[in-house]
Amino acid sequence: MKTEQGGEKMEYKLNAEQQKAVEATEGFVRVIAGAGSGKTRALTHRFAFLVNELGILPQNILCVTFTNKAAGEMRQRIHNLIGDQDTGYINTFHGFCVSVLQEDSYAVQYPKSFLVLDNSDIDAMLSIIYEERGLTLRDKTFSDARNMIEIQKLYKKPKYYMDMLDLSLDALYEKYLSATATDDIIFYGYLYQEKKCFGLDYNDLIVFTLHIFSQNEEIRLKWQKRLEYIMIDEFQDIDSLQYKLMEALCGYHKNLFIVGDPDQTIYTWRGADVKYLLDFDKQFPNVKTIMMLKNYRSTPQILAACNSLIGKNRHRIEKQLTPTLPDGETVVYHSAPSTESEAEWIISKIKELNKSGAALRDIAILYRAHYVTRPVEEALLKEKLPYRIYSGVPFFGRAEIKDALCYLRMVASQDDLSFRRIVNTPKRNIGRRRMAFLEQYAAEHGITLYNSLKQTLDNEIFRGTKAERFVRMIEDFSAGYENRPTSDLLSAILNESGYETMLRTEGSQERLDNLAELKQSIREYENTCGEEATTLHYLAHVALFTNSDADDDSDKVRLMTVHAAKGLEFPYVFLCGMNEGIFPSRKTKDLRGMEEERRLAFVAMTRAKKRLYLSGAEGRNHDGSPRYPSRFVLDINPKLLEYTRPLPEGLIEDARDYISYSEKYMPENLESELLPIGARVRHEYLGEGTILDISTEKGAYLVQFDRMQTPRNISFRVKLGKI
């Protein structure tokens, strides 16, 4: 396929399957795309085909990815292919919902300048709630509180949003004040804080959008008609709310193109359900299915090992990745005598690779859980090899970046969260006493903290402060910010506020460098988003960023969990901690979960382009039990692995016995097979009783048997008969 672009012919180098996907423009299309099969290329070229060949306007196309980083890369690729600043709606689901709400939030009486809340905003709200109600971190950590709020919203109180929409601020405040249980105090306090500043978190974005679509046919039809073509990447990771949104959006033109790989479903714990991909042809009429199985990433040796592993899963679409690259090295498996010697072996191999010309940034060490990295980190430090762990403070979570963004938010929306953060940064002599005065005044008059300051500037309490200068600055910038590029606005306000001067005075060069990086990222955003790149759009966009969106091109070995590595690729991959109880995780309770763990191992292995190294350790676990090789190593045909040393006699046999025994007692799907609390049950030996509690962590019921004075913990592996 060729197309004219700027007077030159552009050659689209696509294989037959990719070409078929590109040209299948009408109706419902499902693409099963294996790892490294060039699905991003197919998606971007399909977008270009719609625009360049069919003449579809970019603003009438929605393309959904699962990370902001992926969306940014896709936006850039499409821009290069169509030569247009307008690249339509290339978003995450949450990002797209921000676009809907910025246009139609009036339908739920929210302003266009609503706040998209990130974790630091939520923690700031929790701080207020804890202080007001006398809670401490012993009652609940902020992390646990955030998880609890998410569970409440998704599962326990799915109609929570009606409280935010139907109740007045005072009524919601009363509901919060009258709550007595810790979870209720936190939950309703949080809803109150959200409503107070017109803030929406990630869950709210989709829920509010779906609510508007269900209640307002005119708005729903407007978006349905606008989106003539919809494309969704990573469809195996879709959850029920995202599925409902997709169903609603494609209801008019009925042009829906989805791409996914059932073998890469690794987010069921987050609500993802592979059935939406597998059953797509049962839910929609005349579905066309295209298989893209040619792998352009990995050597035949790596692919053979990956195919051998994933073939052991029963619930999947039968397929084999086909190599296109020339032969490479056999996949290496090293079983070390201890975790320390495993780490030493990994580091020795990294040094060999580095010596032979491989850059450190091309080497990734992947693992199932963070705790596995301790001996590896120690070995890296000992050998003075630079490394980066992808789990620290993300770029957009750094103090100076949050401060800068809060200055922008103050200009755009003057919300309380931003005000609290930056009113005294740099120092303006507005400390605890003056903040308490503002809090009280705001509460009495039902206004924001910023408006409280504006109205009380003449009060004696602000004499000798820089409060007036602060207000004048915010007012000046707010007056015309909509017509000003965000990058210019930020530079000006960081200069005018004295923030950058403060950092220079402190000698904080790294923090200044980070601000320079932020300005550059805003300029890039403006270049790729064109007219959409308003300050409000940018603030909503950046609030959706996650740790995986942060780039670091310095020459360091990369350490990350397998989940964090999804969607990435590296020339050299070390997958360590390949032991039972580590990978697969000891938390795996049923056969469905075990298949997900195997898919996770498959994802990890398919990240490797040139060389793949698997490793584990022998010896004993912390509880004294023997440490066995992972079943995922044993799943791979031994002829496809190069063993660095023979495994001790009898170890493989013992491991297979252990695995066989553990799977014997695993239910197919624990969740669907669990008996409810309160159920009357019969135990073969202990008689009849009542279930008092269920612990999935322990894998046991707490049962009070009729003929016993005290309850017993009974393992799930024992079948209880329901009476």
Query: So which residues are the catalytic ones?
Result: 39-40, 233-234, 264, 607
Query: Can you list the alpha helix ranges (DSSP code H) found in 197-274?
Result: 202-215, 217-226, 240-249
C-beta of residue 332 within 8 angstroms of C-beta of residue 664: no
Residue 62, classed as helix, strand or coil, is strand
Residues 6 or more apart in contact with residue 207 via CB below 8 angstroms: 153, 161, 241
d(CA 420, CA 435): 8
Q: Report the candidate in 25, 28, 27, 56 with the shortest Cα–Cα distance to residue 43.
A: 25
Phi, psi at residue 295, to the nearest 5°?
-100, 125
What token pair was written down for 671?
């969740």
d(CA 668, CA 594): 10
d(CA 121, CA 117): 6
In the block, residue with structure tokens 């200044």: 512
Taking CA 15 as the corner, what is the angle to CA 14 and CA 19, rounded to the nearest 5 degrees? 65
C-alpha dihedral sign at 23, 26, 32, 34: positive
d(CA 635, CA 615): 14
C-beta of residue 477 within 8 angstroms of C-beta of residue 492: yes
**CA-CA distances (angstroms) from residue 367 to 148, 339, 573, 575, 648?**
27, 13, 11, 6, 24
Residues 6 or more apart in contact with residue 366 via CB below 8 angstroms: 560, 561, 562, 565, 573, 574, 575, 576, 604, 607
d(CA 155, CA 190): 17
C-beta of residue 34 within 8 angstroms of C-beta of residue 319: yes
Q: Report the candidate in 4, 234, 196 with the shortest Cα–Cα distance to residue 117.
A: 196
Residues 6 or more apart in contact with residue 150 via CB below 8 angstroms: 203
Residues 6 or more apart in contact with residue 635 via CB below 8 angstroms: 308, 309, 312, 598
In the block, residue with structure tokens 């009974």: 714
Decide the pairing of beta strands 199-200 and 229-232.
unpaired
C-beta of residue 76 within 8 angstroms of C-beta of residue 517: no
In the block, residue with structure tokens 């402190």: 506
d(CA 514, CA 137): 31
Classify residue 397 by its DSSP letter. G
3-state secondary structure 117-181: CCHHHHHHHHHHHHHHHCCCCCCCCHHHHHHHHHHHHHHHCCCCHHHHHHCCHHHHHHHHHHCCC
d(CA 197, CA 117): 10
